[in-house]
Amino acid sequence: MTFLSNILIEKEKEVKILKEQYQQQNYRNIKQEKSMYQTFMESSTMNIIAEIKRASPSKGEINVEVNPVEQAEQYATYGANAISVLTDTPFFKGSIEDLRVVRNTVDLPILCKDFIIEEIQINRAKDYGANVVLLIAAALPKQRLKELFDYAYSIDLEVLLEVHNETELMIALEIGAKIIGINNRDLKTFTVDLSVTQELAKLVNRNDILLIGESGIRNREDVEKMMEAGVRGVLVGETLMRSENLKETLKDLKIEFK
């Protein structure tokens, strides 16, 4: 049994309850003037997706007591281009409420980072103010991924489609993903290796695909590696959640494209 299969079992239980209890909310949903795809493609500096990550299966507690409003304010002030909110509770100690308060704080694009297996989770992400949802290629068969991908776009959400190997990358391309996240973390072993992005990015010979390097990015040198690999955005969690000087940390990561 892998971590991913464990979490998917938990998600099935969560979705069952959601289906019984969730009623559409009328929270604020900000329609961005430009999509995250468009903004990131036009930017002259590396795009930082700064994550609200209280805890994780690989690291345990990271910053459980974080105030998501203050963290998001600082992310926005110091140059983050989007905010990712980990909304899973059992494994990451986040919540959909974290997403709602972040939405009420910043106008940046917000990524709902969860393990999505059903449309109802996408509806809830939108209700609470997300602009982008995560779909994980390793979590679902291709046909189901495509259905959820199409559903998200049909309700005006963008999709960050996450891959970790060549097979998943080809599936993402076949589905028509425009934003592909290459996760440096193996969800089965938790090993983090930036060469995953470096190798997979070489296989994407298309300049209309927005590549995001995910996980294990600690400093400017790592961002430079990601930039050389061809990514236009990086998703950074732990480094920012542990930072004691977000102004300096974000400045360090935000490099100019050559």
Ligand X SMILES: O=C(O)c1ccccc1NCC(=O)[C@H](O)[C@H](O)COP(=O)(O)O
| Residues with active-site annotation | 51, 53, 113, 162, 183, 214-215
- Identified binder of ligand X from the candidate list 15, 235, 246, 253, rule CB under 6 A: 235
Question: 133-148 burial by CB neighbour count: b if 16+ within 10 A, else e?
Answer: bbbbbbbbeeeebbeb
Under the criterion CB under 6 A, does residue 58 sit at the interface with ligand X? yes
- Identified binder of ligand X from the candidate list 57, 69, 101, 225, rule CB under 6 A: 57
Under the criterion CB under 6 A, does residue 51 sit at the interface with ligand X? yes
Task: Give me the residues paired with residue 85 across strands.
Answer: 52, 112
| Sign for the pseudo-dihedral over CA of 34, 40, 46, 48 | positive
Minimum distance, C-beta of residue 53 to ligand X, in the bound complex (Å): 5
Minimum distance, C-beta of residue 156 to ligand X, in the bound complex (Å): 24
Residues 28-47, interacting with ligand X (CB under 6 A): none
> Which residues neighbour 94 within 8 Å (Cβ) at sequence distance 6 or greater?
52, 53, 54, 85, 86, 87, 88
Under the criterion CB under 6 A, does residue 118 sit at the interface with ligand X? no
Q: Do 161 and 180 form a contact (C-beta atoms < 8 A)?
A: yes
Question: 9-22 burial by CB neighbour count: b if 16+ within 10 A, else e?
Answer: eebeebbeebeeee
Under the criterion CB under 6 A, does residue 3 sit at the interface with ligand X? yes
Under the criterion CB under 6 A, does residue 215 sit at the interface with ligand X? yes
Q: Which is nearer to ligand X, 163 or 235 (CB)?
A: 235
Q: Do 32 and 40 form a contact (C-beta atoms < 8 A)?
A: no
Question: Interface with ligand X by CB under 6 A: which range of 22-30, 48-56, 73-81, 120-128?
Answer: 48-56
Under the criterion CB under 6 A, does residue 53 sit at the interface with ligand X? yes
> Interface residues with ligand X (CB under 6 A)?
3, 51, 53, 56-59, 183, 185, 187, 190, 214-217, 235-239
